[in-house]
Structures are given as structure tokens and as C-alpha cells.
Amino acid sequence: MESQSEDPQASAQRYGDENIEESTLFEESKVQKKTRSSRICPPRGRLNRVITYGALTVVFLVGVWSYAGEEVFPGGGLFGMLIILYCAAIGGKLLQFIRIPFVPPLPPLLGMLLAGFIIRNTPVIQDYVHVSQVVSSYLRNTALTIILVRAGLGLDPQALKKLKGVCLRLSIGPCCLEACSAAVFSHFIMKFPWQWGFLLGFVLGAVSPAVVVPSMLMLQEQGYGVKKGIPTLLIAASSFDDILAITGFNTFLSITFSSGPVYKNVISGFYETVVGVATGIVLGFFVRYFPSNDQPAVAWKRAFLLMGLSIVAVIGSNRIGLHGAGGLTAILLTFVSAVGWNDEKAKVQKIIADAWHIFQPLLFGLVGAEVSVENLESNTIGICVATLSLSLLVRIFVTFLLVSFAGFSFKEKLFISLAWIPKATVQAVLGPLALETSRSKNLTQLEVYAKNVMTMAFLAILITAPNGALLIGLVGPKVLSLDNPEEATEMISLAH
């Protein structure tokens, strides 16, 4: 009876609560529908990024067309450069998606190189994609400058003190002896003159930090070989190795294309070295203290000064005929200035690394686009591979001997020898320079040698970069001791 005679006020309260609850649910459903619709329109996430980048590209092309006219249309220089840049970037991304179980990822630069090669050798596309040789040369020299700046920033004085003996042996010995062996093999197999043989040797002599550094850092993070400092050793020595190869190449490039007596070339090379070292040290001390730490955006100012002065040094020295001075100036300028920056150095490295992300696909795409299958002779690839293989064998053997007295086990020495073969970045920059020089001096009789040098550089990247990365990733965990990553002798930053 009590349940049938419910209080009217309580009943009204109950129905009121139910109405409020229904109203709340209705409002929540409206909010959910509005949220779902807002997610769809305007789009967010990946779709939004794709539309944004597409709009930026269209605006850029229309803006460039406003200034340059037909250069942005198929067959124009800007069109060709943009096609190579985008295709190389896509090729690098596609290669990153290839994942094979228990196999380390392949370096993206291989996809960039193949993208340029495919563009050049696809019948219909090659008719519409053209890049000016002058523009291509300046872009590659800018990429070379970024490589030199990153190499200078990657030199860690503390790590070099701890690893001084074996680090110097590893950075100097294999590069020099591979260059000499490549000169001998190319002279007898490819019929190269001796000066061209040594020029080719220093193109091949450089190891690639773009392959070695990420692979070594991956092993170091997992704790492989850190107790004996093997990842640190290879990361530090790779910068010295590149510096030596670039210096040797510039020296023999001057000798090859000069008509004077040899002793004058030697004196000229010594003079360029002195000028480069002195200028680099002076500019390095200037950039160390200007701008000062109390200024806003000091890292951006330092990065701009480093890049600006280094580009002026590299390209300006070529303009005035001091070809060997620019590279030394850029390296010493970067190293001397960065010594006094302490913790701020990492911020500058990050800015320079971002610049490299733009120039890397452009560099490897342009190098791949320089190689034409139609212009290759039937036996060129065979003799190039033979010369490259023999030079690599000498490099592996010499590397094994030079690290034999540093306290490493047999397996560790074998690993270091195999990890010291990848080639990519320096070969991409130096490979076409001889061809550009012969064209600029109208020395058509030397273009045959120059094209073979460029073909060797292309094959060296194509063969050693993926195989070197695979060998490091597969052999490292099997032959190196598993240690605590905190026991590493010195952590090298991601400068490369």
C-alpha cells in the first residue's frame, strides 16, 4: 500500500532526474557527433599533413613560376631539380619500410641513389628532367661543406685522447693504403695514368659516417663492444678518415689538371695547406667567442656563421684557385670553435643535421642521375668491380693488421675490418668533381677517365653501403661482448 501511494513531490523529483539524465545523454551524443565530424572536417593527422605539403609545393611552384617562368615546367632546370629531390626523398623513405627479420635496416641513401639512377635511365622521364651542370656542382659543393662541418663537430677531444694511438692508425692507414692500392690496380687493370689512379684512390678511400655512425650507435645502445670502446673508436676515426680522403683528393685533383712541373704542384699544395690551416684556426677562434653565450638564439647564430664561413671557404677557394685550402679551413674552423661551446655544441649539431636532411636526398639523387647506362662500355662495369674488390681486400687486411696491437680479440679485429668498408657520402660528393673540372677546362680527352671515376664512386656506394650495414648489424651481436652501455669509454653524439 505504501508503494502505491508514492509522494507526489518524490515522484516529480524522480521524473525530473530522469529528464535531466536523458538531456545529459542527448547533449553528450551531440558533442560526440560534433567531435567525430570535426575529426573528419577539417581533416587532421596524416591527411592534413599531406594536404599541407601539397599546398606548400603548389604555392612554391607558382611563386617560382612567377619569377623564373618556364624553368618550373618539364624540361626546365628547377623542374628537374625538384623532381630529383622529391623522388630521392621518396626512395629513401621507401627503403626504410623494407624490414627483413633479424636483418638491420638498409641505409636510406641507397634508395636516394637508385631514384636518381632510375630517373636518368628511364626513356620517357629522362627527356624532361634536366639539371644545369653549374647548379648541380654548387649543390654538391654545399653538401660537401655540410659533411665537413659535421665531421668537425663530430671530433671529440676527450675521446681522441683516450683512443689516440689506435684511432690515428685506423683513420690514416686504411685510407692511404687503399688509395695506393687502387692507384696500382687501376693503372694496370683500367689503364689509368698514375695521377688519375691516386685521384681515384682517394675517392674510394673514405669510409661513410652516414652508414657507420648509425650502425655503431645502435650496437652501443644495446651494449655490444662498449667496454673496449669499439663503437666509439669507429665513430671517432670515421671523421678523420673523411678529412684525409678529401685532402688527398683535392691535392691530386690540382696535380691532375695542372700543366706545370711536379715540384711546383707540390709547393702549391703545401701553400694551400698552410693557408687553409691558418685561416681555419683564426676563424675558429672568432666563432668560438662571437656570438657570446648571453645573446638570444645563440645556437642558430653559431650554426649560420659556421655554415656561411665554411661555404665561403669551400666555394670561394675554388673560385680563386686554392682548391685544397677550403676543406681544411671548414674542418678546422668547426673543430676549433666547437671546443669552447661545451653543452651548446649539441644544439648546433642538431641544426646542421637538419640542413643535411635536405641536402642528402638532393646529393645522392644528383649522383645517381649522372650515371647513364647508354654511355657505359660493355666491359667498364666488370673492370670497375674488379678494381674495387681488390682495393677493398687490401683495406680489410690493412685494417686487421693496424688494430692487432690494441688489445682486441681475433673476432673483434675481424669485425672492425668488416665495419670499415662502407662508402657513400664522400664518394657521392667527390665522384663527379673530376668530370666537372674536365668539362669546365674543355679537356674532352680526359672525360673518359673522369666518367670512370664517377662510375667507380657510384658502384662503391651501391655495393659497399648496404653490405657494410648488413655486416655490422649481423656480425656485431655475434662477435662483440655484451656489456653495460654505461661502461662506454666515451659517448659520441649524433653529429653524423
pLDDT computed for residue 18 by the predictor: 53
In the chain, pLDDT over 90 holds for what percent of residues?
Answer: 15
What's the pLDDT tens digit per position in 338-385?
Answer: 887 877 788 888 898 888 888 888 888 888 888 887 777 767 888 999
**pLDDT for 82 beyond 80:** yes
Question: How confident is the model over 232-242, as a mean pLDDT?
Answer: 79
pLDDT at 291 over 70: yes
CA distances from 294 to 287, 289, 297, 304, 343 (A): 14, 11, 9, 17, 14
Confidence at residue 491, expressed as pLDDT on a 0 to 100 scale:
41
Q: For the chain, give every domain's residue range.
A: 137-487
Confidence of residue 108 (pLDDT cuts 50, 70, 90): confident
Is the pLDDT assigned to residue 387 strictly greater than 90?
yes
Q: Which of 162-176, 271-285, 320-334, 478-492 has the lowest mean pLDDT?
A: 478-492
Candidate ranges 27-41, 50-64, 299-313, 363-377; pick with highest mean pLDDT: 299-313
On the question of pLDDT at 494 being above 50, the answer is no
pLDDT attached to residue 163: 60
Looking at residue 19, its pLDDT comes to 56
pLDDT (mean) for 424-432? 85
Q: What is the pLDDT of residue 490?
A: 42
Residues facing residue 224 across a β-bridge? 482
Predicted TM-score (pTM) above 0.85: no
Provide the 10 A C-beta neighbour count for residue 84.
Answer: 25
User: What average pLDDT score do residues 216-244 get?
Assistant: 80
Secondary structure, 3-state, the chain: CCCCCCCHHHHHHHHHHHHHHHHHHHHHHHHHHHHHHHHHCCCCHHHHHHHHHHHHHHHHHHHHHHHHHHHHCCCCHHHHHHHHHHHHHHHHHHHHHCCCCCCCCCCHHHHHHHHHHHHHHCCCHHHCCCCCHHHHHHHHHHHHHHHHHHHHHHCCHHHHHHCHHHHHHHHHHHHHHHHHHHHHHHHHHCCCCHHHHHHHHHHHCCCCHHHHHHHHHHHHHHCECCCCCHHHHHHHHHHHHHHHHHHHHHHHHHHHCCCCCHHHHHHHHHHHHHHHHHHHHHHHHHHHHCCCCCCCCHHHHHHHHHHHHHHHHHHHHHHHCCCCHHHHHHHHHHHHHHHCCHHHHHHHHHHHHHHHHHHHHHHHHHHHHHCCCCCCCCCHHHHHHHHHHHHHHHHHHHHHHHCCCCCCCHHHHHHHHHHCCCCCHHHHHHCCHHHHHHHHCCCHHHHHHHHHHHHHHHHHHHHHHHHHHHHHHHHHHHHCCECCHHHCCCCCCCCC
What is 137-487's CATH number, 3.90.950.10, 3.10.180.10, 1.20.1530.20, 3.40.50.10320? 1.20.1530.20
State the cell numbers at 311.
Answer: 661555404
What number is the average pLDDT over the span 411-423?
A: 90
Task: Report the interhelical angle of 209-222 vs 447-479 (nearest 10°).
Answer: 0
Q: How much is the mean pLDDT over the chain?
A: 80
pLDDT band at 438 (very low <50, low <70, confident <90, very high): confident
Q: Kindly report, residue by residue over 112-136, the tens digit of the pLDDT.
A: 888 988 998 888 888 888 888 778 8
Residue 178 scores a pLDDT above 90: yes
pLDDT band for position 493 (50/70/90)? very low
pLDDT tens for each residue of 460-473: 988 998 888 888 88
pLDDT confidence band for 2 (50 / 70 / 90):
very low
Find the mean pLDDT for residues 161-190.
87
